[in-house]
Amino acid sequence: MIDIKFLRENPEIVKQNIKNKFQDKKLPLVDEVIKLDVENRQRKAMGDELRNKRKNLSLEIGNLMKSGKKDEALKLKEQADLLNKNLQENERIETELSEKINEIMLKIPNIMHSSVPIGEDDSKNVEVQKYGEPVVPDYEIPYHAEIMENLSGLDLDSARRVAGNGFYYLMGDIARLHSAILSYARDFMIDKGFTYCIPPYMIRSDVVKGVMSFEEMDAMMYKIEGEDLFLIGTSEHSMIGKFKGQTLQKKDLPYMMTSYSPCFRKEKGAHGIEERGVYRIHQFEKQEMIIVCEPEDSYMWYDKLWSYTVELFRSLDIPVRTLECCSGDLADLKAKSVDVEAWSPRQKKYFEVGSCSNLTDAQSRRLGIRIKGEDKNYFAHTLNNTVVAPPRMLIAFLENNYNQDGSVNIPKVLQPYMGNKTKLEPKNKN
């Protein structure tokens, strides 16, 4: 949510930002907010005036009572009663106006960074840099589900019987590999100075509204029936929610946290061949990182965060690239975002394995996360980034470490987490 003072003083900038996101249907919201804001400020001024009159009238009534002028005091009391009724009605209207303004402001996108490329959808995202040489071996790389099945590590049929499409059983070495990658990612981030955290896996609706747009919430979140609780789609939601309503001390900043959690997503409209395995699913696990920091430090942290993901993937012998998200592919709360994509030798293309975002003060305004200043408090900046999200990350790992005989190499950094194994061998190998 942007600052209403900024919108009031810069309506054309806000409108151009909406146009750049190709959300022209939201343009009338700006004028609507300005109109409601004028009325609301008038109501606030009227309320202050009525309260001041009430105070003076109370003093006058008290003085008349002390002087024994009871009849005159009673007449003024009738005026005071009428004034109170007017004040209550004014406060009711003021509350309604504030709620309407807040509801609309939640729909107006955050101001994007000036460097964000303008484009309608993800096809206009811009490659920034490649890391590692993408290799296509001279032998066929099987589909990732087949690699897992040959290693006796995946059972989709049983999962469909138990939970339906979009779920899976991981077993044996693949299940161990899944956990090993998460453990390695956890220790990797701890070594970078981050505090490890396991957060709540459910959050209340006020936190959901604080961390994401209504469109994202409807497309992603599972609601617990009969409860004011939602299953998290990513741990950054409960991690940022941890600071809800808090006034932070400058000396404690930045908060650098890395979190593990399962994630649950509806994945509405997910179709296509790459969804047959474990690429796009309703349940997965993830190692995340978040930063809560001073506003002037947020873009420095932005560059650090995505670079950590690149470094981790390269340590696992996986070529990656960074892709700058264009305006039309940027969620409403984000000011700037970069995707990290891993190389798929089977598909001969890159695919998304993580996303790093700077939300500036959009989340903190919604959640009331402030920093205590010398003269006045101000809103913190928040950032989030994926460390790893298996089992999708497993696809990149298996394809890039796959050998012609069906075995899979285990990079040196991961071997201590895999009982010092150097390879995974297919169970049906002669």
Q: What is the CA radius of gyration of the chain?
A: 28
Tens digit of each residue's pLDDT (9 = 90 or more) over 218-262:
778 999 999 999 999 999 999 999 999 999 999 999 999 999 999
173 and 91 in a single domain? The answer is no
Q: Is 429 inside any structural domain?
A: no
Domain extent, residue 25, equals 4-105
Residue 171 in this model has a pLDDT that exceeds 80? yes
69 and 179 in a single domain? The answer is no
* pLDDT category of residue 103 using cuts at 50, 70 and 90: very high
Count of the separate structural domains present in the chain: 2
Mean predicted confidence (pLDDT) in 398-419: 96
* pLDDT category of residue 430 using cuts at 50, 70 and 90: very low
Tens digit of each residue's pLDDT (9 = 90 or more) over 297-320:
999 999 999 999 999 999 999 999
Length of the chain: 430
Q: Is 397 inside any structural domain?
A: yes
Q: Is 116 inside any structural domain?
A: no
318 and 376 in a single domain? The answer is yes
Strands 283-293 and 255-264: antiparallel
213 and 101 in a single domain? The answer is no
State residue 286's pLDDT score: 94
State residue 274's pLDDT score: 45
130 and 12 in a single domain? The answer is no
- Under 8 Å CB-to-CB from 134, ≥6 apart: which residues? 319, 343, 345, 350
Task: Tell which residue, 425, 213, 397, has the closest CA to residue 318.
Answer: 397
Q: How far apart are CA 345 and CA 314, in angstroms?
A: 15
Which of 105, 136, 169 is the endpoint of a domain? 105
Q: Is 126 inside any structural domain?
A: yes
Could you identify the residue written with the tokens 């942007």? 2
Q: Is 334 inside any structural domain?
A: yes
State residue 54's pLDDT score: 87
59 and 159 in a single domain? The answer is no
- β-partners of residue 31 are none
State residue 429's pLDDT score: 55
* pLDDT category of residue 216 using cuts at 50, 70 and 90: confident
Tens digit of each residue's pLDDT (9 = 90 or more) over 401-410:
999 999 999 9
Mean predicted confidence (pLDDT) in 372-380: 96
Q: Is 117 inside any structural domain?
A: no
145 and 100 in a single domain? The answer is no
Q: Is 258 inside any structural domain?
A: yes
35-44, 68-77, 135-144, 160-169: least confident range:
68-77
Exposure b/e, 262-272, CB count within 10 A at least 16 = b? ebbbeeeeeee
State residue 267's pLDDT score: 75
CATH number at residue 95: 1.10.287.40
Mean predicted confidence (pLDDT) in 322-339: 97
Residue 14 in this model has a pLDDT that exceeds 80? yes
Which of 77, 105, 133 is the endpoint of a domain? 105
Percent of the chain predicted with pLDDT > 90? 83
Mean predicted confidence (pLDDT) in 97-104: 95
98 and 199 in a single domain? The answer is no
CATH number at residue 134: 3.30.930.10
Tens digit of each residue's pLDDT (9 = 90 or more) over 265-289:
987 655 443 456 888 889 999 999 9
56 and 24 in a single domain? The answer is yes
Strands 370-371 and 247-248: parallel
Tell me if the bond preceding 391 is cis, omega within 30° of 0.
yes
245 and 362 in a single domain? The answer is yes
Which of 105, 139, 156 is the endpoint of a domain? 105
Q: How far apart are CA 180 and CA 178, in angstroms?
A: 5
Residue 164 in this model has a pLDDT that exceeds 80? yes
Kindly report the pTM of this predicted structure.
Answer: 0.90
Residue 34 in this model has a pLDDT that exceeds 60? yes
State residue 273's pLDDT score: 35
109-118, 251-260, 263-272, 353-362: least confident range:
263-272
Mean predicted confidence (pLDDT) in 63-70: 83
Residue 2 in this model has a pLDDT that exceeds 50? yes
Q: How far apart are CA 404 and CA 402, in angstroms?
A: 7
Q: Is 9 inside any structural domain?
A: yes
State residue 67's pLDDT score: 85
147 and 15 in a single domain? The answer is no
Task: Tell which residue, 334, 311, 310, 332, has the closest CA to residue 322.
Answer: 310
Q: How far apart are CA 420 and CA 64, in angstroms?
A: 91
266 and 352 in a single domain? The answer is yes
